[in-house]
Structure 1
Amino acid sequence: MIGTTLGDLRRHIESLADPDGDYRLVCARTGDRPVPADGLAFDGRATARAAARSTEQYRAALRRYDPQLPVYDVIACQVTEDVTSPGRAVDGTEPGPGPRQERPEGNATARSAIDYCHTVAGVVFEAIADSPHTALQDAIMDTYLESAEELDGPDDLCLRLLRSIAAELSARLESSELTDVLRAAGERMPDSEAEADDPVAAALAELESAGMLRSYEVSAPSVDIDAAARRWRVEFEGYALADDDRVVTLPVVVALFRRASVRSIAIASVERSGEGRWTLALTTNGGDGPTGLTSVRPRS
């Protein structure tokens, strides 16, 4: 399946990156940073061109899973600290927008949500392809395509893709297998741009930034005497992946597993605290087994 191609392409793009580089990849039309090169920098013109080609190949491969993945005109721009105007394309085309250009109002939230969903979906598919559970890829797509027929909007479709991934993972994998896949997916997630030392707050800040979460509050974590387990109380509102039947926790769990310090996760309960408002209890590195890694049923 194409997951192996996704993994190979991501590793190649990351091998070209240089944190001190002056070049960034953006979409020439929208200014969006394309997955999986968002957050990466490159040190020269030729390297940036090679990364742009591989990024387009990655997105073409991922589009075979989800045809709604946006088509970007990927270009490389040279960016310096004092640049405030659009960057200069390195491929000889018209200058493209710089990475920090603001998006037009109206569809900015939907586009951001779509990209974030596909970032999570991409790393999960890569992890599945590198696991003994490759048959899961077909099962996920069967579930997704069957349910997607009733949807029209691209933002709804990308949310349904994450719901389908969560459903098939929980139905087909034992808890230890599921933990291994999601930890491997988390290790592939790009670094967070959210400025938060708290891993739970950082994960929720990403969802809020993508327009998938209206607001949240995270308590200071309580710490066991051995300083291993940490417990949070989280209140959130307007989560795009929550309804009366299920709250999909998959994006939060994958984001948490990006931290090397997070070895296990348990989301024991979710309670409705008002219309569109939810409260959950989350533990990392606790003594109990992993729970709630893909979704949790709200308490009645």
Structure 2
Amino acid sequence: MPVAASDIVPLHVLGTDVDLHVGGHRTPHLVQVLRDRWHLCLRADGTPTSAEPPQVVGATLLEPDAAPGASATSDPAAAPGWARGDSVSDSDEPRLLQRLTQSVTYAAIGARSGELLMLHAAGLADPVTGATAAFVAPGNTGKTTLCRTLGPARSYVSDETVGVRRDGTVTPYPKPLSTRRPDWAGVKDEQAPGSLGLRAPEVTPWLAGVVLLRRVEGHRGAPEVEELDVLDAIMAITPESSAFMRTERPLHWLADVLDRTGGARRVTYGEVGELEPLVGEICGRRSPW
């Protein structure tokens, strides 16, 4: 069944067009919520940016007494009928928004597989030069907190995926920030970047440095910085990348990126505010590209 133009939220993420097809309970409300949360990724007039058709992700808010859809509430491994990037439905709005963010991310990653070096990282850029610091880390280990804390003075590239092109430029993914709340068990709050003082890059970002984050509760003193040799850096970074082996000569590409940007460092820290000098140093670099 065709979707009305008013029920489509057109996004551009990781250099890919993604259309959210919205339906179900309180459709106009959900459309507005999605436009608010994804405001930095909206295609202004909805026009596609390339000849390729947009990826499509469905978002359906069910009636409150309806049974939640398997795609939104079940472990994906236990729900073989669902693939990330397909339609998401749920009667719980916060849970729907979280699952939808995951589906948009996977749709975009799938579309750019083989084209980008995609790091599971937070990215902050100098608003004037575009110099971007990529902070690589597993989920739930500080990337979003880093963006919330140190991002307002810079350009927000992503709290999830930093996509690097062959020429060293970065494709922004300024998605809603997925924030844990103590009063929401098991569900993250998808917060609009603008509500946290974050802005999308106005100049093309480019990769200036790569840091692996290691947050340790109770860590005291200044952050501990460890320089990594190329092999150790590659071994640490590849598990925190997406579609890595689908690119051409991925190991050579990553090694070249590290060589150009001064190599990777691992930083052990306790409080994210302690990383300010490191972010400032990387975002103050001149382009090696």
TM bracket, shorter-chain basis: 0.3 to 0.5
Normalising by structure 2, we get a TM-score of: 0.32
- Going by fraction, where is helix more abundant, 1 or 2? 1
